[in-house]
Chains A and B, each alone.
Chain A
Amino acid sequence: MQRIIQINIAGRIIPIEEDAYIVLKDYLNALESSFAGEDGREEIIQDIENRIAELFTIRLQTGSPAIDRSDVQKVIDTLGPASELHGNASGNTNNANTGNSYQRGNTYSGYSSQQQNYQRNQPPPFNYTHDRLLRNPYDKMIGGVCSGIAHYFGIDPMIIRLLAVISFLTFGVGFVAYIIAWIVIPAARTREELYNTNGGNPVTFHDITRNVGEELTDLKRRGEAMSRELRDFFSKKK
């Protein structure tokens, strides 16, 4: 069973199945991060969204009630994986060794999709599934630093969290270190990115300032939600 939701893409209302939507959303996120630091980023994404809308409209005109996952996959295949679209006009020699970006639609199986990508380009030089250290926004208490670190080392985030809490309490240094890590380590924009070996872009100062802004608003939002929950909790008790 599939729930059908409606999205507005480039001013068109498109009915789309829910899991197809997730695939599409992840693809657009991957595009955003691969064009990060590019001047006309918003415009490029807008143009691509336009094209996606156009392709979807064509698909819907052929009598399909809603866009499903295979349709989205087809569109992604025609447009190309996010990391390969960024090639500079000046013809940079940065060859396809970063082809392991967005490929198949599976949001979780990062490792298997890496295999497929490598088949296309070249075998991995060493079989080294070394993740990039990224904050994990999909599982976070404060800033996702601990769960990012845990993901990096492949251990339970709770262990790192406990260590962090201990270091907060004993020295206070941990707190400062946490804040710095929070600022410096970039967040993963998609789930795929967490599993990527060498994906992502180098972090610039601009990124860092923007990240701090985003994180603060997010923290504020979640703080408010938490205080609301606490209030509810206590008012129930009375």
Chain B
Amino acid sequence: MKFVKFQQTRYYALHNTIFYLPLFCKRSGMNVDNTESQMRKGLLELCILGIIQRQKEAYPSDILEQLKGAKLVVLEGTLYPLLTRLKNAGMLGYRWEESVSGPPRKYFTLTETGAKFYEQLRTTWDELSQAVNNLTVPLL
């Protein structure tokens, strides 16, 4: 009797695992959407710093335009926490400027630490993209 019971439980356990396997895969982030969004998310800081560095000064809506154009940001709200984190980490400084058409704007600039940080990220990115291209290019 006991043996039968044991077998039964094992059967159910197996059945359950197979049944929920696709879900587990999704859960652990194994789909294209998720991987893509992780990649973009990782590059967001670099791009924000890059935009600010290039223009010397930028306000959030302007940065958003460019990021959206490059399809790096889908949800606008994700930018604001990032900017605040970068600012609190001493990478960015800002000043307020009145705007004719809307609420006052926060113009962000790179601090010295920010500029250094950006240079480092930039170098890493160059190396990384080179390396990734080398690794994924089809072999002749």
Contact = CB atoms under 8 A, between A and B. Distances in A.
A77 to B, nearest CB: 9
A87 B44 CA distance: 12
B76 A47 contact: no
Nearest to A35: B81
Contacts of A48: 77, 80
Nearest to A81: B75
A40 B88 contact: yes
Given A12-B103, A78-B76, A89 B82 contact: yes
A38 B75 contact: no
Interface stretch (A50-58, A141-149, A171-179, A210-218): A50-58
Interface in B72-129: 74-78, 80-88, 101-104, 106
Interface stretch (B4-12, B19-27, B131-139): B19-27
B17 interface: no
A50 B104 CA distance: 8
Given A44-B81, A95-B29, A97-B27, A54 B102 contact: yes
Contacts, number: 91
Interface residues of B, number: 32
A100 to B, nearest CB: 15
B75 A84 contact: yes
Given A78-B76, A79-B76, A53 B88 contact: no
B84 A12 contact: no
Interface string B25-50: 01101000010001001101100000
B61 A51 contact: yes
A96 interface: yes
B103 A54 contact: yes
B103 A50 contact: yes
Given A50-B60, A51-B76, A125-B23, 9 more contacts: A50-B104, A53-B102, A57-B103, A79-B76, A80-B76, A82-B77, A91-B38, A95-B29, A122-B23
Interface of A: 10-12, 31, 35, 38-40, 43-44, 47-48, 50-51, 53-54, 57-58, 61, 78-82, 84-87, 89, 91, 93, 95-97, 122-123, 125
Interface of B: 20, 23, 26-27, 29, 34, 38, 41-42, 44-45, 60-61, 74-78, 80-88, 101-104, 106
User: Can you list the 5 inter-chain pairs with the closest CB atoms, starting with the nearest?
Assistant: A80-B75, A79-B77, A40-B84, A85-B77, A47-B80
